[in-house]
Amino acid sequence: MTAAPESTPPLPAPAPAQRTARRRVRTSMTRWEWTRAGGMVAVILALHVIGWFTLVMVVAPQHHAIGLSVAVALLIGTVELLGLLAARLDLHGPFRDLISGLDLNVLGYVVVAPSFVTWAVALVVWRAGRIEQKWSGDLSGPQGS
């Protein structure tokens, strides 16, 4: 009789406390009850997804213009979150170095500078082009009535 080929050793059995806790949870409900509980969780998740989709795609665009401030908040929040995750998870690499190297003060100047330049250019165009005088003519209506 030949010996069985060597294989990897089996995984160690879970500790008795873990085994009994898992068994208690698993056997606390019947298969039908677990199926119903899973269905309820699925329905709740589906309602949340539908609700957020409705809020973001239907309600918010009609009531709030998502503009520059939201984009800036998302940018800064994303940079902060990625930096925090990279530090907590001890990640290494070029992307982590890029995120870690970002200075939020410089990022603030990058956000504010174009806004200020846009405002200054608009003011110069308004004054030099005499926009107010061109557009504020006689608005009382047709004459000769």
The pTM is what?
A: 0.39
Chain segment 5-24, per-residue pLDDT in tens? 566 666 666 666 656 777 88
End-to-end CA distance of the chain: 120
Within 13 Å and on the Cβ side, how many CA atoms surround 14? 8
Domain range annotation of the chain: 29-64
Give pLDDT, residue 43: 92
Within 13 Å and on the Cβ side, how many CA atoms surround 90? 0
Cβ atoms of residues 100 and 128 within 8 Å: no
Sign of the torsion angle spanned by Cα atoms 131, 132, 133, 138: positive
Chain segment 21-39, per-residue pLDDT in tens? 778 878 888 888 889 989 9
Instruction: For residue 66, give the 3-state DSSP assignment.
Output: coil
